[in-house]
């Protein structure tokens, strides 16, 4: 596989993942339970105390309307980057993903949200440089994080009897 092929495959899979992520948010946002649990009113004190922004910005960014707008922007940017990969689009995807994670006060989908940041950072390195060695480092960065994360998780699961027996799966 060539470097160009690896970059194309990585960006394509990243864009598809972010498209599905935005669609998931839209689907969930119409459910009453989601609206109640993840309402701005429930999160207000954490967001207003934890972010160094004016409260009016926080309210507009993280209200349900702002949240859906951020997801819509992510969906649009991911669709565009799928066909025209550009550093500006991947930078926008980084920002929208970051805002969505703040809205969930961390990650919503756990490790996959963190791995999305790793892949976005690697792709930003690829598109942010004209030096082929630096560009290759972007994909190496993704590879190292991926191998380490899944090797570590796999070894931990092999070492724990609950994982080997299947008892940990329902939990």
User: pLDDT at position 56, please?
Assistant: 84
* Contact criterion met (CB below 8 Å) for 142 and 114: no
Q: Which of 56-60, 62-66, 133-137 has the highest mean pLDDT?
A: 133-137
With bands split at pLDDT 50, 70 and 90, how would you rate the model's confidence at 171?
low
* Contact criterion met (CB below 8 Å) for 137 and 121: no
Give me 18's structure tokens.
């972010």
Q: Which of 21-25, 27-31, 166-170 has the highest mean pLDDT?
A: 21-25
pLDDT at 109 over 70: no
User: pLDDT at position 48, please?
Assistant: 79
Instruction: Give 119-142 pLDDT, tens digit per residue.
Output: 999 999 999 999 999 999 999 999
Percent of the chain topping pLDDT 90: 49
Instruction: Give 140-168 pLDDT, tens digit per residue.
Output: 999 999 999 888 888 888 888 888 888 87
pLDDT at 37 over 80: no
Closest by CA position to 63, among listed 82, 39, 81: 39
pLDDT at 104 over 80: no
* Contact criterion met (CB below 8 Å) for 115 and 148: no
Higher pLDDT, 126 or 171: 126
Higher pLDDT, 19 or 58: 19
3-state secondary structure of 97: helix
Q: Hey, which bits of 3-162 come out as E strands?
A: none
Q: To the nearest whole number, what is the mean pLDDT of the chain?
A: 88
Higher pLDDT, 17 or 165: 17
Phi then psi for residue 128, to 5 deg, are: -90, 0
Exposure of 138 by Cβ count < 10 A (0-12 exposed, 13-18 middle, 19+ buried)? buried
Q: Is the dihedral of CA 21, 27, 29, 35 positive or negative?
A: negative
* Contact criterion met (CB below 8 Å) for 70 and 22: no
Percent of the chain topping pLDDT 70: 96
Exposure of 166 by Cβ count < 10 A (0-12 exposed, 13-18 middle, 19+ buried)? exposed
* Contact criterion met (CB below 8 Å) for 85 and 59: no
């Amino acid at each position: 596989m060539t470097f160009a092929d690896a970059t194309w495959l990585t960006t394509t899979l990243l864009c598809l993942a972010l498209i599905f992520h935005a669609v998931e948010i839209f689907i969930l946002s119409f459910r009453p339970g989601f609206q109640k649990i993840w309402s701005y009113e429930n999160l207000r004190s954490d967001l207003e105390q934890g972010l160094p922004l004016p409260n009016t910005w926080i309210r507009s960014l993280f209200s349900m309307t702002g949240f859906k707008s951020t997801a819509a922007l992510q969906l649009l940017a991911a669709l565009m980057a799928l066909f025209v990969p550009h550093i500006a689009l991947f930078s926008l995807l980084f920002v929208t993903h970051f805002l969505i994670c703040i809205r969930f006060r961390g990650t919503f989908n756990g490790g996959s949200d963190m791995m999305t940041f790793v892949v976005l950072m690697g792709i930003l390195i690829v598109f942010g440089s004209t030096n082929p060695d630096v560009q290759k480092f972007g994909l190496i960065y993704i590879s190292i994080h991926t191998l380490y994360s899944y090797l570590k998780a796999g070894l931990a699961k092999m070492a724990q009897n609950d994982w080997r027996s299947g008892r940990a799966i329902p939990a």
